[in-house]
Structure 1
Amino acid sequence: MCTVTIVPNGETDFVLTSNRDEAPNRACIAPDFYTVGNTKVLFPKDQLSDGTWIGVSEKQRVICVLNGGFKIHERKSSYRLSRGIITKHLMVAPTIVAAITTYSFDDIEPFTMVIADWNNGLKFFELVWDGNQKHLTELPLEPKIWSSSTLYNPSMRTERANWFEDFKSDNKLDASALLNFHKTAGKGNLDYGVIMNRYLVRTTSITQIEKKGNCANMHYENLLKGQQVSKTLKFPVTVNG
């Protein structure tokens, strides 16, 4: 939920990896298949919100959300809707850009959303809701890292981006290597290493989605329980890419 990387593999495939930084007592359920709006989806579930921070759907789309927009914000006591529910809504929307354009984010806590959509060729998007405005950007198909603005100040985010740049120059960017980055970058730095531990908030899980041909492979590791789960969502062979 709070550290995300995305790396393309050619013009059709990619790997997205997410470290979730959360209160360790916030319960979640390992990834499973669900039906949302008559659409098959695969995601780990946050029990409190009944939503998710990352998932893949039959709509040929991956969505991952991070807390916070461009900068840290002052939280209200309550909001109209959980960001995890919005993730589910947008996963199953017929067309992602149209859905974002018409969706009302009023009274939703600020967030950053990373989107990969391959309905008409592979595209990466970044959506930032700053609490007042939507900022939707189509990104180049290039490796990129995000760190949540609610946990990491600008200098921390810059240093983490530098770790990723160093990693990119020294490693083949396949799923295994990227998972290793999400486990070891900044190792020993409990405050803002990619696996962090501030006790009240810590890295509780890692979820990786590798889109490869007509399959999306999800690998999930619960770092608190030592639990690992891998599942695959298959698409029709006619899917673009």
Structure 2
Amino acid sequence: MCTVSYIPLESGFVLTSNRDENPFRDTLEPFEYQLNDKIVTFPKDKIAGGTWIAHDQKGRTACLLNGGFIKHKRKTAYKRSRGFVVLDVYNYDTNLEFIMCVNLNGFEPFTFVLVEPGIRMQLISFVWDGKRKYARLLNSDQPYLWSSSTLYNQDVHDDRVKAFMKWIEVNSQITPHSILDYHKDNYNIKIGELIGNEGVETVSITQITRIHEITKTVYH
């Protein structure tokens, strides 16, 4: 939920997420859950019960990063965990309906990456800054990288984007496995490496791959 990449494929997409969290925060591995009329696959946070990444049987994917555009000052209490908002996506039939209708008052700021397969892939960056919603339709034929604003400032993020785009440029054969390796080699954070967040480390990497209308989850 702290570093997320999206890379289009000829017949789908790959979305990969590094979760940087307290290593003592337990998580259940991805499992299929019935949410209303949908089967949704996601890893579950054992403490809060929500998640940071999920997809349904049609490949509709939601991924959470903590923080909005800039690092915010945390309040002592919030309405409920942002991880439940990821699951709220599947209370609606489309991502656009979710964005327009969901009530986010009382939630801590976050950024969502939303992917919806169809005749043309729909990719949306959706930010809640604690007061307003901001949705941006992105070019689903282009790669993107996001970094959590609560852990990485803009300069660090810009450097990461440049390195990520350079890696794509010099590698003609990009595969889900090579993307996973890139995340392991470049975005794995160890305890004490993040100033001001010394108790945080990369606890898992989750990858959702949609190829030829088949969606798979890999969890490390």
For the aligned pair, the TM-score class normalised by the smaller chain equals over 0.9
Q: Which runs of 5+ in 2 are unaligned?
A: 193-197
Q: How far did residue 59 of structure 1 move?
A: 5.0
- Cα–Cα, structure 1 residues 120 and 50, in superposed 2: closer, same or farther, change >3 Å? farther
CA–CA distance in 2 between the matches of 1:166 and 1:40?
A: 37
Q: How far did residue 120 of structure 1 move?
A: 4.8
Task: Determine the structure 1 residue equivalent to 2:153.
Answer: 153
Q: How far did residue 127 of structure 1 move?
A: 0.2
Task: Report if aligned partners of 1:59, 1:119 keep a CA contact under 8 Å in 2.
Answer: no
Task: Determine the structure 2 residue equivalent to 1:196.
Answer: 189
**How many residue pairs were aligned?**
212
For each residue in 1:126-169, what CA deviation from the matched residue of structure 2 results, as whole angstroms up to 9, or x when unmatched? Answer: 00001111001110021000000000011111111122022111
Task: Determine the structure 1 residue equivalent to 2:8.
Answer: 8
Task: Determine the structure 2 residue equivalent to 1:74.
Answer: 73
Give the 5 Å matches for 1:87-236.
87-141=86-140, 142-171=142-171, 172-185=173-186, 194-197=187-190, 198=192, 199-221=198-220
| Identity percentage of aligned residues | 37
Task: Determine the structure 2 residue equivalent to 1:33.
Answer: 32
Q: Which runs of 5+ in 1 are unaligned?
A: 186-193, 222-241
Give secondary structure in 1 for the equivalent of 2:70: coil
CA–CA distance in 2 between the matches of 1:123 and 1:23?
A: 33
CA–CA distance in 1 between the matches of 2:165 and 2:215?
A: 26
Task: Report if aligned partners of 1:63, 1:91 keep a CA contact under 8 Å in 2.
Answer: no
CA–CA distance in 1 between the matches of 2:138 and 2:167?
A: 21
CA–CA distance in 1 between the matches of 2:218 and 2:74?
A: 32
Q: How far did residue 92 of structure 1 move?
A: 4.2
Task: Report if aligned partners of 2:12, 2:213 keep a CA contact under 8 Å in 1.
Answer: no
Task: Report if aligned partners of 2:82, 2:107 keep a CA contact under 8 Å in 1.
Answer: yes
Q: How far did residue 52 of structure 1 move?
A: 0.6
